[in-house]
Every structure is written in structure tokens, then in C-alpha cells.
Amino acid sequence: MIGEESRGYLLEIMLTKLQYLSKVSPSNKIKLLAMSATLPNLKEIAVWLNSSLFVTNFRPVMVKEYIKIGNELLPVNQDNNEVVTINGNRKIQGDRIGLYGLLE
């Protein structure tokens, strides 16, 4: 779903259906584990899903930040001069902004 502009409402529909199934059929114990590094409204989502919220800043590896312009990744951090060129030949249907090329 990376790069899909409509993923937000699709995820909301799927989660609503899972909540409904969980309520109408208690024998089907549905457990959901969701993780995100970018959601700004975690508390509201946890309340909506009637779930527990766990937040941590632990990172097992260093996070490197880049800005994607065309087929290049430019470092955000001034200490990092590494410019990465993305393989522009790797495309899949629906990937209008070229994110699939990042998965190498």
C-alpha cells in the first residue's frame, strides 16, 4: 500500500470490518497488532480501536533521512554527503511516484 493515495480510507474500512466481525462473532477472537512510525494521532486511533497504545523511541538501527527528488535520494543531515541513485527501471503498476525502486 506504500504510495497509494487512497490507503487511508481503505485501512479504515478494513479495520471497521474487523471491529464489526469481532463484536458480532465473539467466538472469532480477532487480535490486531498495528505499527507505524509516522502516524500523528496515535491516541485517537487507539481509542477508536479500543486498544492499548505502546510508544517507544528505541531504534535498533540508525535512521537515515533522505529527500527523494526524481531518481535521487538527497541526505537531510548535513553530516551525510551520500547521494543515492534509485534504479528507475523497477516500476510496478500504480507506483506513480517511484517508491518501488527504493526496495532494493
- The 10s digit of each residue's pLDDT in 78-100 is 776 777 777 666 667 777 777 77
- The 10s digit of each residue's pLDDT in 18-42 is 888 888 887 877 888 888 877 788 8
**What are the grid coordinates assigned to 103, written together?**
526496495
**Extents of the domains making up the chain:** 7-48, 66-102
On the question of pLDDT at 2 being above 60, the answer is no
- Which residues neighbour 29 within 8 Å (Cβ) at sequence distance 6 or greater? 22
Spatial CA neighbour of 83 closest among 70, 95, 92, 96: 70
What average pLDDT does range 58-76 have in this prediction?
A: 82
